[in-house]
Structure 1
Amino acid sequence: MLYGILAAIAALFLSAALAALLRGPALRLGITLRRRGPRPVPLLGGVAVTLATCAVAAAGHAVGVTPLGGRTGALLAAGAAVAALGLVADVWGLKSRFLLAGTAVAAACVVPYEETGAVGGALAVGFVACAALAFRSLDHADALAGTVGAVTAFGVGACAAAEALDGLAVLLSVVAAALTGFLTHNWHPARIALGASGSLFTGFLLAAAAVLTRGGHGPVSTAGVLFSLTALAAVDAVLVAVSRRLAGRPLLRSGPDHLAHRLRRLGLTPQGVTVLLGTAAFGAVAAGVLVHTGRAGASAVLWVAGSALVVVCLLLRVRPYGQKRPTCTTASMASSQVSASLRVRNG
């Protein structure tokens, strides 16, 4: 217990220090995210979170205080590989399908097939890969991915502690602390962002850890708990997919149609959006933890699912794309029609 607290403190300060150190090199190398406005945001915050997490976890394992064990060590190694893949995407750019495939391969290496079975294992791999990409999409707003990630890490860590998975619980507390240290630089206006490296690392680690904690439980209850633990990322992904489908836009084409974008259109400040969505994530994660530990029935998951459906339906009414501007051809045709009408009237 004492080491877990010390490890979390170390991860917090190490992540904050590394994020500050990596900001300058990211700007000089042009590894930035260009949002609306003249100020580019460097993308190496995820490297800081990954390095802090791996360093503190490896130190604990080396001194023998909290041995990672086979599954936890494999999970951390696979997470580091996913972070490296995300870094490639940040520096050189990779299409989402390659990120999905690479994350799925990493997930296939950590899923406990002896507990899930072949079909359940395949579904778990798909869940982990999709959850990682959903967390990546949360990095569209300052402090959002870090806040939701930290809240989720605490929740999954509580589930791991309830299953006596001490090494996994400590690792998740370290992840939560590393994200908290990163948030000192990511709060609006952000001075550095997670990027694909950090968001994929966070989403992969949390989703895979949740799958490990649910080993041996029933498939239906497991699906409900996994949904609750990642509900906010799932709602954002579903909202974007449905919105783009209805608008006839390509699914993988970026746009201002995420949760934070729509809430900003309703008048919330960037800080208000983060606090509101962080609170929503906390409620969903708490429901998942209570169901996992047996302190709440399955109806808690139904409340989360019902609330998610209501949010999607309501926010679909917020128009994110605006009206299309008339093209030159359309404008010239309209001008010709007006001229013809005037000639008829004058004639």
Structure 2
Amino acid sequence: MFFGIAAATAALLLAALLAALLRVPALRSGLVDRRRRARPVPLLGGAAVTVAVVAVAWTGELTGFADPDTDTRRLLVAGAVVAALGLAADVWRLRTRFLVAGTAVAAACVMPYELTGAVGGVLGVLWVVLGTVGFRALDHADGLAGTVGVITALGVGVCAAVEVLDGLAVLMSVLAAALGGFLMQGRRPARIALGACGSLFAGFLLAGAAVLARAGHEPAVSAGVLLALGAPAVADVLLVVAARRTAGRPLLRGGPDHLAHRLRRLGLAPRGVNVVLGLSAVASVLVGALVHAGSLGATALWWVAGGVLGVVLALLLLTSSASQRRASPQVTGQLRVRNG
């Protein structure tokens, strides 16, 4: 208990310090995000989170204050490898397919096949890839990925604690604290962003830890719990896939069609978007944690699934209607000029 509190505090302070220190080198080296934001934002916030989590976890193990189990240690090592891949993507703009392939290989190395079986292990790998890519997609707005990440890490940590996976629970508390430290610099208006390094690292740890906590439980309920724990990321992925398929655009090409973008088009302020999505994450994660703990019936998971689908459909319809309304006056004006 004492080590968990001390480790979380150290991770928070270290991540906040590193995020502040790494901002200037990122700007000087041109390592900034120019594509998804209105202004250049340095991308080394993810490196700060990764270094803070890994340093605190390994310090606890080396000093003997923490004794992580094999699965937790393997998850952290694989997460660090995925973070290195993400850092390479930030520096050299690697294609998304390489990130997905690398994440899949790392996920395959951390699956508890003795509990999940071969088929369950494959499904677990697919979930980790989906969760990781989905969490990275949430890094399209200032502070959004960090906010959702803190909430999700706390929920997954509760699930791990219920299973008496103390090492995994501590790792989740350290991750939540590190993301909280990052948000001191990463909240709107962001002075630094997670980038692929931090978003892939956090997403991989969150999705992998959730699978480890649910391993050995009834598969159908486990799928619902995992959905609840990762609902914002899943909703964003479904929304983007549906929008791009409908428009006939490539799935892996970026664009302003994510959750935050569409909520902004409906009139929400940037801070309001983060509040709405943060509260949505609290609600879904709470349901997932309570169902995992046995304090809530599994039927509650259907409400989460329905909510995800409802949000996706509503945003698709509402934002399409809003775009058509904005385009109509321009078309009418053009017709008048031509007819005049």
The question of a shared fold, defined as TM-score above 0.5 by the shorter chain, is answered with yes
What secondary structure is seen at the aligned counterpart in 2 of 1:116?
A: helix
Kept after mapping to 2: 8 A contact 1:256/1:321: no
Distance 1:135 1:49, change over 3 A: same
Give deviations 1:159-201, integer Å, cap 9, x for gaps: 0000001111001000000000000111111000000000000
Q: 1:38 to 1:225 in 2, by over 3 A?
A: closer
Output the CA distance in 2 between the equivalents of 1:136 and 1:322. 26
The answer for the alignment partner of 2:24 in structure 1 is 24
Give the match for residue 120 of structure 1: 120
Secondary structure of 2:253's counterpart equals coil
Once the two structures are TM-superposed, the CA of residue 69 in structure 1 deviates from its matched residue by 2.1
1:70-105 C-alpha deviation (Å, 9 max, x unpaired):
111111000000000000000001111110000000
1:15 maps to 15
Cα displacement (A) at 1:319: 2.9
CA contact (8 A) 2:12 2:181 kept: yes
Q: Displacement of 1:246 after TM fit?
A: 1.1
Contact in 2 for aligned 1:111/1:124 (Cα 8 Å)? yes
* Deviation digits for residues 285-311 of structure 1 (CA, Å, limit 9, x no counterpart): 000001100001111110101111111
Correspondence for 1:54: 54
How has the CA–CA distance of structure 1 residues 321 and 201 changed in structure 2, closer, same or farther, with 3 Å as cutoff?
farther
Question: 1:239 corresponds to which residue?
Answer: 239
Residue in 2 aligned with 1:306? 306
C-alpha distance in 2 between matches for 1:86 and 1:158: 28
How many residues matched?
329
Which region of structure 1 is more displaced relative to structure 2, 157-166 or 247-256? Answer: 247-256
Q: Structure 1 residues 256 and 53, CA, compared in 2 at 3 Å: closer, same or farther?
A: same
Shift of 1:322: 5.1
Q: Are the equivalent residues in 1 in contact too, given 2:142–2:190 (CA < 8 A)? A: yes
Q: TM-score, normalised by structure 1?
A: 0.92
Aligned-partner SS, 1:288: helix
SS of equivalent residue, structure 2 residue 104: helix
Given that 1:262 and 1:320 are in contact with CA atoms closer than 8 Å, whether structure 2 keeps it comes out as no
1:313-345: CA deviation from partner (whole Å, max 9, x where unpaired): 1100203995799xxxxxxxx9xxx7xx99xxx
Partner of 1:267 in structure 2? Answer: 267
Amino acid at match of 2:320: R
User: Tell me, what secondary structure is at the counterpart of 2:193?
Assistant: coil
SS in structure 1 at match of 2:139: helix
1:1-347 to 2 correspondence within 5 Å?
Answer: 1-35=1-35, 39-317=39-317, 318-319=319-320
CA distance in 2, matches of 1:247, 1:46: 32
Deviation digits for residues 44-76 of structure 1 (CA, Å, limit 9, x no counterpart): 000000000001111111111111221111110
Q: Structure 1 residues 301 and 38, CA, compared in 2 at 3 Å: closer, same or farther?
A: closer
- Cα distance, 1:39 vs. partner? 2.9
Q: Structure 2 vs 1, CA of residues 245 and 37 (structure 1 numbering), >3 Å: closer, same or farther? A: closer
Unaligned ranges ≥5, structure 2 = 328-334
Contact 1:53-1:175 at 8 Å conserved across structures: yes
CA contact (8 A) 1:33 1:40 kept: yes
Rg larger for:
1
CA distance 1:252–1:322, change in 2 (3 Å)? farther
Kindly indicate whether the alpha-carbon contact (under 8 Å) linking 2:37 and 2:140 is maintained by their aligned counterparts in 1: no
TM-score by length of 2: 0.93
Q: CA RMSD in A?
A: 1.8
Deviations 1:99-121 (A, max 9, x none): 00000000001000011111110
Conservation of the 8 A alpha-carbon contact between 2:112 and 2:212: yes
Corresponding residue SS for 1:139 = coil
Aligned residue number for residue 331 of structure 2: none
Instruction: Give the letter aligned to residue 276 of structure 1.
Output: V
